């Protein structure tokens, strides 16, 4: 496929109230998954996830599942967005959109 998009900018943590609204809009299975998975940590097998999920289902068998303290998100305000696409002989296409002080985007072609 040979495509990539890179976004740079300012990342700000989303307020807890917004995270809670989003968390509560997700399916019960997704909410349980948030409690089950220590995201990106190394696990020995899928059985670890399945065992933890069974514990979480039991723990939260009744009522609303609470928002985990460790769960939330970030909002990125982009300053640059680069699009890269593979081409033969390494003459890849690269375009970068740059946000200026007037809040307008300029587009530039970059050398591969």
- Give domain 3-109's CATH number out of 2.30.110.10, 3.90.1170.50, 3.30.70.360, 3.40.190.290: 2.30.110.10
pLDDT band at 92 (very low <50, low <70, confident <90, very high): very high
**What span, in angstroms and rounded, lies between the C-alpha atoms of 102 and 99?**
8
Q: What radius of gyration do the chain's Cα atoms show?
A: 21
**pLDDT tens digit sequence for 61-73:** 999 999 999 999 9
**pLDDT tens digit sequence for 2-50:** 999 999 999 999 999 999 999 999 999 999 999 999 999 999 999 999 9
34 burial type by CB count under 10 A (0-12 exposed, 13-18 middle, 19+ buried): middle
* Model pLDDT, residue 20: 97
Tokens for 15, please give them.
């307020």
The dihedrals phi and psi of 37, each to the nearest 5 degrees, come to: -105, 120
Q: Which residues are catalytic?
A: 90
Domain ranges of the chain: 3-109
């Amino acid at each position: 496929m040979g495509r990539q998009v890179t976004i740079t900018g300012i990342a700000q943590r989303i307020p807890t109230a917004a995270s809670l609204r989003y968390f509560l809009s997700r399916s019960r299975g997704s909410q349980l998954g948030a409690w089950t998975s220590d995201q990106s940590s190394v696990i020995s097998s899928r059985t670890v996830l399945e065992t933890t999920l069974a514990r979480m289902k039991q723990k939260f068998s009744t009522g609303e599942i609470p928002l985990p303290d460790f769960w939330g998100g970030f909002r990125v305000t982009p300053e640059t967005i680069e699009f890269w696409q593979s081409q033969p002989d390494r003459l890849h296409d690269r375009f970068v959109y740059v946000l200026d002080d007037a809040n307008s985007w300029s587009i530039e072609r970059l050398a591969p």
